[in-house]
Amino acid sequence: MSESGAAADGESKREFVVPEKLIKSPTDMELWRMSECYYDLLGFISSMSVALQGTRNSQEVSVPPIVEKLMKVLDRLEQLAIETPPIDQPARFGNVAFKSWFQKMQSESMQLIGDVLPDTLKEATKELNVYFVDCFGNPTRIDYGTGHELAFIMFLMCLFKIGAFERKDEVAVGLKVNQWNKTVKKTYFKYLFHHHSQLFQKYIILARKLQVTYRMEPAGSHGVWSLDDFQFVPFIWGSAQLAVNSPIEPAQFVEEKSIAKYKKELMFVSCIDYIQQVKTGHFAEHSNQLWSISAVPQWSKICTGLIKMYQKEVLSKFPVIQHVYFGSILTLKTVKPGTMLPNPRLGMIPRQHAAAPAPVPAPPKFPGGDGM
């Protein structure tokens, strides 16, 4: 049974629901590839890539209250891991203490997410919570993969689409549902996506801590759908950071001096540093795909190439997409005929036109309809 959530500016109420898995067989994959959710997802990843060009992890920016609250949520989950140490067991991998951590996280998640949202969006908690709980790994198999990473990306998308950012968070322009590339100004992306980048990096750090602490297995065929056994998107957004004013060439990201100097500043290099910490042997042997990337001459080409690889090796795989949830925010509704898939233009910072400050708009509005 759905419950009503108030839409912005007095629009008809939105019916938030508990999301469900709707991709039941490989024949359903065409529904997925033509869905609004699929196009929104690629639009989000592409727009983030454009906005992150030339940024650095340590940039000083004021953090909006909702992002600050979400970071504290991740801090709380890390504390739960500290309180739930791995147990002694015969099996080398898949420490069963992760199941206890997962149960604790799940028991607190509704309250944690509800406390983050403003009063006008409390009803969205049950829909957001499903994505949030799903983004830390599987408690039965004690594994983690790109499907769990995808759940967190979708969690971030939901926050955008329901207008969870308040006016006082300096939102420069409104965001229309399902139109990531056409209706959002670059200044808005630059501001808000940087905060989401900070939040995403904090999530990745927590995910790594869980993977190491509980010796989690890579989901799928030993990480076949990821670049470092577990993750993929940090490499996309990390290469986007380097598409403009990069201090290193692609061939240098495996060099020890580059890693030591930039691991705290650049998402891509921090990923390489993590691989070097958890794996032994020559990089070309244990991370062949990444090694081959170092031969590509331009970071912008690496980023666009990784997005295409992500489409093919993650978003087109039924074993991953069968676990995706759809509700009233992210839907399987078919896009309009002729809709083009987003394609980021990288290698230059979009021009900013000087103008008087625009009035801060209302949060994004939902269209009418009964949702999913």
| Distance from C-alpha of 158 to C-alpha of 222, rounded to nearest angstrom | 30
Average pLDDT rounded to a whole number, residues 77-86: 96
How confident is the model at residue 195, as a pLDDT? 56
Helix (H) or strand (E) run with residue 309 in it: helix 299-313
| Distance from C-alpha of 339 to C-alpha of 296, rounded to nearest angstrom | 31
pLDDT: which is higher, 233 or 279: 233
pLDDT averaged over the chain?
81
| Distance from C-alpha of 202 to C-alpha of 234, rounded to nearest angstrom | 11
How confident is the model at residue 6, as a pLDDT? 45
Highest mean pLDDT among 227-231, 292-296, 316-320: 316-320
pLDDT: which is higher, 364 or 121: 121
310 band by pLDDT with thresholds 50, 70 and 90: very high
Least confident among 84-98, 257-271, 346-360? 346-360
**What are 275-296's pLDDT values in tens digits?**
888 888 888 788 888 888 888 9
Least confident among 43-57, 129-143, 255-269? 43-57
Provide the pairing of β-strand 14-16 with 217-218.
unpaired
Query: Is the dihedral angle over the CA atoms 291, 292, 295, 298 positive or is it negative?
Result: negative
How confident is the model at residue 284, as a pLDDT? 78
Task: Confirm if 97 and 87 have CB atoms less than 8 A apart.
Answer: yes
How confident is the model at residue 292, as a pLDDT? 87
Least confident among 54-68, 243-257, 269-283? 54-68
Average pLDDT rounded to a whole number, residues 331-337: 94
Least confident among 67-76, 120-129, 233-242, 277-286? 277-286
Least confident among 57-61, 336-340, 357-361? 357-361
Average pLDDT rounded to a whole number, residues 71-83: 96
Q: Which fold, 21-179+194-326? A: Four Helix Bundle (Hemerythrin (Met), subunit A) (1.20.120)
| Distance from C-alpha of 216 to C-alpha of 226, rounded to nearest angstrom | 15
Residue 5 has pLDDT above 80, yes or no: no
How confident is the model at residue 196, as a pLDDT? 59
**What are 144-153's pLDDT values in tens digits?**
999 999 999 9
Least confident among 47-56, 65-74, 245-254? 47-56
How confident is the model at residue 24, as a pLDDT? 97
Average pLDDT rounded to a whole number, residues 355-371: 40
Highest mean pLDDT among 160-169, 170-179, 202-211: 202-211
Residue 187 has pLDDT above 80, yes or no: no
Provide the pairing of β-strand 3-5 with 14-16.
antiparallel
> Residue 370, class by beta-carbon neighbours within 10 Å (0-12 exposed, 13-18 middle, 19+ buried)?
exposed
How confident is the model at residue 279, as a pLDDT? 82
Residue 371 has pLDDT above 80, yes or no: no
21 band by pLDDT with thresholds 50, 70 and 90: very high
Least confident among 46-50, 196-200, 305-309, 310-314? 196-200
DSSP line for 310-339: HHHHTTT-HHHHTT-EE-SSS--PBPPTTP
pLDDT above 90 coverage of the chain, percent: 54
How confident is the model at residue 197, as a pLDDT? 66
How confident is the model at residue 226, as a pLDDT? 55
How confident is the model at residue 357, as a pLDDT? 39
